[in-house]
Amino acid sequence: MSTVHAPTAAPTDRCDLDRIEDAVAFIRTHDTAGVLAALLPGLDPAERAGLAAHSAFTHAAVLVFPESVAGLREELRAGGLDVGPVTPSVVVRDRLARRYGRPADTLDVGILRAPVTAADGRPCEVEIFALAVPAGAGQDAVVAAERARQHEAHLALEVTRPDAVVLAGLRETLLTRGRMTADGGGHNAHEGSTVLYFRCPEDTGTPYTRLELNARGAHPGVLGRHLGEGTPAQSAGRGGHDGADGHRGPAERLLHLMTGAWATQALAVAADLRLADHLAAEPRPDLARLADLTGTHRESLGRLLRYLATLGVVTTADPADGYLLTPIGELLRTDAESSLHPLALMYGGPFYRSFGELGHSVRTGREGFDHLFGAHHFEYFAERPELADLFDRSMAASSAMFGPIPGLVDLSAVRTVVDVAGGNGELLSRILRAAPHLEGVLLERPHAVEAARATMAKAGCADRCRLEAGDFTRAVPAGGDLYLLSRVLHDWDDEQCLAILRRIAAAMPEHAELLVVERLLPQDGQDSLAVPWDVHMLCNVGGRERTSAHYADLLATAGLRLTSHTELPLDAALLRVRKA
């Protein structure tokens, strides 16, 4: 296929056809070694050659959204791609259903496969997952989020002579040297094969976010270890990194869990010393140089760096050659986009001290923060400008979760957006920037309004945004077309949430929509950042994380209706709400 041409009045969106075309071009220009170089830029040539000797590139996969899967097949065939018959996809359909809280039977996902020759002349395939989106199907949010995040785009390797030792070695190299994360897998008894899924590091520079490693036969030992590896959140939570924990016994794992607070403090000290900034400013500074730059005790700093290396924050082949930041460590730079530097100081500072009062919270149901500091954290921070500023910057640190929101909502008919407790204005400014016809109103407590003013000015939206100092339990600005309530409800118990939601419902005109951003507790015991953050809310704030069903109940009691929810980055979700 030279180009995928959409026929006139093509039902399939051009961007989807481009994505397929890109996948075909990727296959044609890559052999196995090329795929490994693209996905694993951190590997040295010998490691890459070792992997390439035992595996072969088999396919590139993308997810697209035609009006009909059969129609897409015809378009692709007309464009010269030799597409085989459509087969239904259960795995991707169920993943989409779980991700977006939709019934699986409302999602029609088919698989199309077409042969494409790889750069080395070997036969490969492009694998096209197609979710049929007929006009008016109400799948806009799913389509927008998947196009933005490309969860299903992946590359696949086949282990050429699979045995348990080879498979274990490949897996180990991908996890430890390739900085990939275990992301599930399974044994298909019907096909007699084992598949291990990996999530790629974020800096690969390809649109492919996952790698699939297929091996003929059953490999229960390797598969069991891979499944036990868990998600990145679990790995971070237990203080280990990469694949190392998969090989630890129960006592070692428990010791790592028990000493998680040491990792919190090591990160906070690294942040306080601005180690990441120093490591980024010079090529591979060595220990003596870093000790000079940070004014620290050289030998002790070396010991801290060794610990940070085991946490996956810095790396060094030999300390004498100097230290480098890993992609995780890069996020501690103060100038990184969505830098987590302020959060490292917050979780290692005031919230570290108050988390020591968790026992009090569990025994009494009351906040550990108030028990230690004598005031609710909002009051305590409000009276201490330095802490209030750190809190605002901490909230901004996880604002990556807001990225897809302007693309998920049709803003064309909206005129006024009201952000209730909008914090430093990060979310509202992103929405105002995305649609220059919009006017914004941001309600905040008096001490927080100045931070929002600075954000609006920086975003060039100051003249389109009114800042109101006020209290959402007393009044919420009326007459908006779109209301935002981001990371507010989790700060409060159900009774207080109802008071806030009733104020908002009273202020909303009939046509208005409310967007709620929160982390959702999983209903099925799965891992999510919402789970540890729920305990943080209990101890430090007096609020809680909730399931979508819990939010739906609260909203209904306040005269509102949850219409859908969509995944956002960092395990957050966008809940879309209308008046009941």
Ligand X SMILES: C[S@@+](CC[C@H](N)C(=O)[O-])C[C@H]1O[C@@H](n2cnc3c(N)ncnc32)[C@H](O)[C@@H]1O
Question: Which residues contact residue 362 at a Cβ distance below 8 angstroms, ignoring those fewer than 6 apart?
Answer: 538
Residues designated as active site = 490
Q: Closer to ligand X by CB, 242 or 491: give it.
A: 491
Q: Closer to ligand X by CB, 263 or 516: give it.
A: 516
* Per-residue burial over 497-507, b = 16 or more CB atoms within 10 Å of its CB, e = otherwise: bbebbbbbbeb
CB of 38 to ligand X, least distance (A): 35
Q: Which residue is nearest to ligand X (CB)?
A: 423
CB of 435 to ligand X, least distance (A): 19
Q: Closer to ligand X by CB, 229 or 419: give it.
A: 419
CB of 456 to ligand X, least distance (A): 14
Tokens of 346: 């917050």
**Segment holding 191, helix H or strand E:** none
CB 511 within 8 A of CB 481: yes
How many CA atoms are closer than 13 Å to the CA of 66, on its beta-carbon side? 26
CB of 345 to ligand X, least distance (A): 17
- Rounded to whole angstroms, the Cα distance separating 417 from 479 reads 9
Q: Closer to ligand X by CB, 56 or 537: give it.
A: 537
CB of 484 to ligand X, least distance (A): 7
Q: Closer to ligand X by CB, 175 or 421: give it.
A: 421
* 3-state SS string for 484-543: EEECCHHHCCHHHHHHHHHHHHHHCCCCCEEEEEEEECCCCCCCCCHHHHHHHHHHHHCC
Give the relative orientation of helices 494-507 and 548-557 as an angle to the nearest 10 degrees. 60
Q: Closer to ligand X by CB, 207 or 470: give it.
A: 470
Q: State the CB neighbour count (10 A cutoff) for residue 137.
A: 16
Matching residue, tokens 């140089």: 289
Beta strand 465-469 with 439-444 is parallel
CB of 347 to ligand X, least distance (A): 14
Residues binding ligand X (CB under 6 A): 378, 395, 421-423, 426-427, 443-445, 448, 471-473, 486-488, 491
**Segment holding 466, helix H or strand E:** strand 465-469
Beta strand 193-199 with 181-188 is antiparallel
